[in-house]
Amino acid sequence: MHDRSPPRRQKTSQVPASEAAITRKAPARSKGQARTTRAGDDALIVELGSRVKRLRTQAGLTLEEFAAQSGVSRAMLSKVERGEKSPTLAIIVRIAKGLNVSMSALMGAEPDAAQVAVIRKANRLAFKDPETGFERHNLSPSHLDNDLEFLLHRIPPGESSGELPPYKVPTEKYLVVHEGELTVQTGDANYVLGTGDSFYFDVREPYRFINAGRIPCAYYLVIRRRRV
């Protein structure tokens, strides 16, 4: 017999969109290490900004039209495109939605039609929210004719993804908690999941992933976009 009992559902009030980040002391680095790390981060921010601007131009969108489609202010989009601002997860998801591309494509994933693909850990496409420390690691190759994505998310204690918007196309998400405790908030309901629990939802309204625990949370996520 399969256990089809649903995960615990808790009716709770909405978590504020602007959650306060937990202050954590960064490990000590030498001045040389700090400069090298900063230079690498700056280069990634500039590269992302250039890609956003290129995709917007290819789509024939003005900044005003882009702002309307993405729900991100024109001023913020302009800073991102110039490489002056590292966007949070919530903002970059909205940018991808406004450009009608996946977040993986926005981060630089290239189509790969090979029958076999190996993605080394050191070569994963990864994104880290500069404010919350939320991490998104792309574990799957980007195929031209494939509507699936396989991801690893990590959330520090007390942090969340922020509110994420629904997609333009019908989208399903399947996840399994690898470590810690995860709360999935969709609509006005919270679903609390422990290590080893799995969860499915059809993304039809804004949602967020929350780590309300005291230890880091990690979970694997499969995204399926249904063709219309």
Joined tokens for residue 152: 């690893």
Kindly indicate the confidence band of residue 110, based on its pLDDT and cuts at 50, 70 and 90.
Answer: confident
Averaged confidence pLDDT in the chain: 83
Question: How many Cα atoms sit within 13 Å of 191 on the Cβ side?
Answer: 19
For residue 145, what pLDDT is reported?
60
Q: What is the pTM of this model?
A: 0.73
For residue 105, what pLDDT is reported?
83
Kindly indicate the confidence band of residue 11, based on its pLDDT and cuts at 50, 70 and 90.
Answer: very low
Which comes out higher in pLDDT, residue 112 or 88? 88
The rounded distance, in Å, linking the Cα atoms of 182 and 210 is 6
For residue 27, what pLDDT is reported?
42
For residue 14, what pLDDT is reported?
41
Bridge partners of 177, per DSSP, are 219
The pLDDT of 32-37, averaged and rounded, is: 48
pLDDT surpassing 70 at residue 16: no
Which among 197, 123, 137, 135 has a CA at the least distance from the CA of 160? 135
Kindly indicate the confidence band of residue 180, based on its pLDDT and cuts at 50, 70 and 90.
Answer: very high
pLDDT surpassing 60 at residue 211: yes
* % the chain with pLDDT above 90: 59
* % the chain with pLDDT above 70: 79
Which comes out higher in pLDDT, residue 154 or 145? 154
For residue 115, what pLDDT is reported?
80
Domains of the chain with CATH codes: 32-86 (1.10.260.40), 102-228 (2.60.120.10)
For residue 21, what pLDDT is reported?
33
In this structure, the strands spanning 148-155 and 182-186 are unpaired
Question: Residue by residue, what is the 3-state secondary structure of 207-228?
Answer: EEEECCCCCCEEEEEEEEECCC
pLDDT surpassing 80 at residue 37: no
